[in-house]
């Protein structure tokens, strides 16, 4: 389908995986279709109840959770299998696998940890995952941890390859409470927060008269 001349380019949201040591881009996952809704929840990190001297204090940034439903659909591409051989051979398995493997340690990491355990290593560190970024426009590039992931496969080709599915993702934004302040992820979170602060200054302020009052008693 062609777009109208002069129509704005549709930006896509998605996920970027970075090497946690070098910050090199390991993988870019564009969502095929942008979800219609994005649910965000901010859990405020206050100092707790009961101590009046701490009532206005914050322990840190709120715990932000992002939820979205993404759709994958290859139905149109399968009408011309000669033009889309991978779609005809695998369906949406590759797209699903790119998302699913975010939640897995790599097979090489599992094999290495097994080798260490077999050799008698007493302490084996948990396996390091890539730094995961959720990208939703230039104003939202945030480090996240995938906390919940569900897939509903809705249609299959004759070889039982999935060709249409809905993926539900829940991600927890990682702040400088979770990451080193001087790390790549910590820097991206601070940029995200500063973007919010900058955008807040663009909001036209209200007036006390809108509340029906002339001042604070």
The secondary structure element, H or E, covering residue 67 is strand 63-73
Q: What is the pLDDT of residue 125?
A: 81
d(CA 28, CA 18): 9
Give first-to-last CA distance, the chain, whole Å.
Answer: 61
Kindly state the tokens that stand for 88.
Answer: 């005809």
pLDDT score of 186: 96
24-45 in b/e form (b: 16+ CB < 10 A) is eeeeebebeebbeeeeeeeeee
Most confidently modeled of 7-11, 54-58, 61-65? 61-65
Contact call for residues 24 and 18 (beta carbons, < 8 A) = yes
More confident residue, 181 or 121: 181
Q: Which H, E and C letters describe 121-155, residue by residue?
A: CCCCCCCCCCEEEEECCCCCEEEEEEEEEEEEEEE
pTM (2 d.p.): 0.86
- Length of the chain (residues): 217
Task: Check residue 1 and give its pLDDT.
Answer: 44
pLDDT for 2: 47
Render pLDDT for 90-109 as a digit per residue (tens, 0 to 9): 999 999 999 999 999 999 99
79: number of CA atoms within 13 Å, CB side?
A: 4
| pLDDT at residue number 98 | 94
Q: b vs e for 112-147, b when ≥16 Cβ sit within 10 Å of the residue's Cβ?
A: ebeeeeeeeeeeeeeeebbbbbbbbeeebbbbbebe
Q: Is the pLDDT of residue 72 over 90?
A: yes
Percent of all residues in the chain with a pLDDT value above 90, rounded to a whole number: 65
Q: Which of 144, 141, 132 is nearest to 171 (CA)?
A: 144
Q: What is the pLDDT of residues 8-55, one digit of tens each?
A: 667 899 999 999 999 999 999 999 999 999 999 999 988 876 677 788
| Residue ranges per structural domain of the chain | 14-195
How far is Cα 70 from Cα 81, in angstroms, rounded to an integer?
24
185, 174 in Cβ contact below 8 A?
yes
Which carries the bigger pLDDT value, residue 151 or residue 81?
Answer: 151
Residue 194: Cβ within 10 Å count: 10
Strand partners, 135: 14, 141
What's the pLDDT tens digit per position in 182-217? Answer: 999 999 999 999 999 999 999 888 899 999 998 998
């Amino acid at each position: 389908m062609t777009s109208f001349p002069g129509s704005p380019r549709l930006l896509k949201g998605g996920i970027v995986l970075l090497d946690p040591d070098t910050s090199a881009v390991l993988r870019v996952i564009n969502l095929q279709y942008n979800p219609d809704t994005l649910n965000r929840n901010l859990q405020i990190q206050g100092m707790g109840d009961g101590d009046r001297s701490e009532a206005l204090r914050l322990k840190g940034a709120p715990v932000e959770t992002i939820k979205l439903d993404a759709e994958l659909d290859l139905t149109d591409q399968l009408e011309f299998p000669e033009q889309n051989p991978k779609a005809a051979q695998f369906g949406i398995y590759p797209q699903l696998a790119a998302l699913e493997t975010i939640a897995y340690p790599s097979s090489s990491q599992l094999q290495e940890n097994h080798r260490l355990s077999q050799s008698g290593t007493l302490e084996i560190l948990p396996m390091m995952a890539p730094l995961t970024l959720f990208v939703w426009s230039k104003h939202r590039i945030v480090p996240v941890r995938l906390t919940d992931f569900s897939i509903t496969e809705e249609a299959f080709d004759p070889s039982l390859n999935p060709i249409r599915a809905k993926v539900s993702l829940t991600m927890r934004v990682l702040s400088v409470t979770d990451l080193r302040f001087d790390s790549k992820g910590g820097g991206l979170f601070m940029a995200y927060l500063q973007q919010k602060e900058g955008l807040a200054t663009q909001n036209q302020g209200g007036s006390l008269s809108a509340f029906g009052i002339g001042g604070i008693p």
